[in-house]
Amino acid sequence: MKIFAKRIKELRKEKRQTQSNMAELLGIKLRAYQYYESATYYPEIPNLIKLADYFNVTTDYLLGRSDERD
């Protein structure tokens, strides 16, 4: 599994959110969010930033460029 997909799935579960809730937060369809967690597709920059802000981590952490969350 790609690092991005793994990290957003772990973070989502830590926050006890469903994939549907995350899709709604990002303003995308459920299937699009599911593609993120399956490493089929990646978000565009605005949604990457929304995810980082929501999970209170850096975009570098989400992308696997750093192991430091903040």
Query: Cβ distance 8 to 37 under 8 Å?
Result: yes
22's enclosing H/E stretch is helix 19-26
Does residue 23 contact residue 32 with C-beta atoms inside 8 Å?
Answer: yes
* Amino acid of residue 42: Y
Parse the chain into domains and list their residue ranges.
3-63
- Which tokens go with 54? 């929501």
pTM over 0.75: yes
Q: Which residues are CB-contacts of 60 (< 8 A; sequence separation ≥ 6)?
A: 66, 68
Nearest alpha carbon to residue 69 among 8, 1, 2: 8
Domain 3-63: CATH architecture, name and number where available: Orthogonal Bundle (1.10)
Give the per-residue pLDDT at 18: 98
Going by pLDDT thresholds of 50, 70 and 90, the confidence category of residue 70 is confident
Q: Look at residue 38 and tell me whether its pLDDT is greater than 80.
A: yes
